[in-house]
Amino acid sequence: VEREELERRVEALKATLQRAGVRLTPQRVAVLREVLASEGHPDAESVFRAVKKHVPEVSLDTVYRTLWMLTDLGLITTLGSRQPRVQFDANTRPHHHYVCLRCGVARDFETGELDVARLAEGLAGFGSVETLHLEVRGLCASCAGQAG
């Protein structure tokens, strides 16, 4: 991401946040600039380190708060499931998971959609392909029935 394009995205995000009624503090602007500038998939700590270079008095919890706020607004996402505990799975057949965004329940399903061989071919430049994990998230029937 080149500097000019980055600034364009920062300004766009700032506008979106203001429209959402979010106060633009220097800390928040610094955090969002760093996430947008990050090539990879930074954790809170590394965003924190990057932000501190420009706003030395920032605290780690503000970085967390800002990152989750951006996530809640759908402006960034997180890798992996957001379940706080490890979940084990004794199903040894190849399968995938449907996870409810509200109650967290996870159900197994199988699909013929994924051609492992074709995927592995496309990803050959990255490395070997050992396993595939498809997670579909949505509102489960039971949760959809309740208000919300």
Contacts with a second copy by CB under 8 A lie at: 35-36, 38, 40-45, 47, 67, 70-71, 75-83, 85-92, 97-98, 100-101, 105-107, 109, 111, 113-115, 118-119, 122-123, 125-144
Closest approach of DNA to the CB of residue 122, in Å: 30
CB crowding 131-148: b at 16 or more within 10 Å, else e: eeeeeeeeebeeeeeeee
Could you say which of a second copy, DNA, none residue 133 binds, taking C-beta under 5 to 8 angstroms by partner kind?
a second copy
The Cα–Cα gap between 113 and 2 comes to: 37
Candidates 59, 110, 119, 136: give the one binding DNA (CB under 7 A): 59
Sequence letter at residue 102? R
The Cα–Cα gap between 5 and 37 comes to: 10
The Cα–Cα gap between 24 and 14 comes to: 7
When the beta carbons of 42 and 120 are compared against DNA, the nearer one is 42
Which residues sit at the interface with DNA, rule CB under 7 A? 18, 22-28, 43-45, 55, 57-62, 64-66, 68, 84-86
